[in-house]
Chains A and B, each alone.
Chain A
Amino acid sequence: DIQLTQSPSVLSASVGDRVTITCRANQGISNFFAWYQQKPGKAPSLLIHAASTLQSGVPSRFIVSGSETEVTLTISSLQPEDFATYYCQQMKIYPLTFGGGTKVE
């Protein structure tokens, strides 16, 4: 199985901060990464697919960069609605797997 390790698990930040979340895979998965945002009590929602393509309606302050085994999600200027938990996922090989999540508080 492909294991995804997210860091940090918790990130304390303030509105306006630039925040970065890293997702590392134990093998190359090319651009088969996706990112989801989950707010308390709600279902996750898709933020980014194909490693760096923003889902429709997602603001451009969400930026992704990386390599075959590591991707970084950056929020360029944290907004109040961005406080949430973020999950990376690989869509290359079954079983599909998620990272452990990063809570931005």
Chain B
Amino acid sequence: QITLKESGPTLVKPTQTLTLTCTFSGFSLTTTGMGVGWIRQPPGKALEWLSIIFWDDDERYNPSLNNRLTITKDTSKNQVVLIMTNIDPADTATYYCVHRNYYCSGDSCHGINAFDIWGQGTMVTVSS
């Protein structure tokens, strides 16, 4: 059974750096196709994809965050960390950690090309 759980501060001051940790179980981020990503949702608003890191160390970021994001993985701890710099009140949101298992080799693709498992989310408020 795959589970993911987010952890981090609930309150952050503007201009500070936010560090969120996703601790997962039920899979290894060294297995071909595996990816762990982050998605956020401001209160009452839609979902926004932030970043994802893959088994092969490939990293992708949402350019709308203006290079404020860094994602890393620690496969020995089964953790993925998202760092967001220069925090602003507009970053107030629930942050979700998500799982994806999908890869293509030649013309053959395997897994589910979507975020099939979500963490419970962690609410982060940015306020002075």
Contacts and interface: CB of A to CB of B under 8 A. Distances in A.
Interface stretch (A12-20, A59-67, A72-80, A89-97): A89-97
Interface residues of A, number: 21
The size bracket of the interface on B is: 20 to 34
Interface in A45-94: 45-46, 49-50, 55, 87, 89, 91, 94
B48 A46 contact: no
B97 to A, nearest CB: 9
Given A43-B119, A95-B49, A100-B46, A49 B62 contact: no
A54 B63 CA distance: 31
B47 A94 contact: no
Given A49-B112, A50-B113, A95 B47 contact: no
A43 B120 contact: yes
Interface string B52-80: 10000000111110000000000000000
Interface string B115-128: 11011110000000
Given A43-B121, A46-B115, A95 B46 contact: no
Which A-B residue pairs are the 4 nearest by beta carbons? A34-B114, A49-B114, A43-B118, A96-B49
Interface of B: 46-49, 52, 60-64, 96, 112-116, 118-121
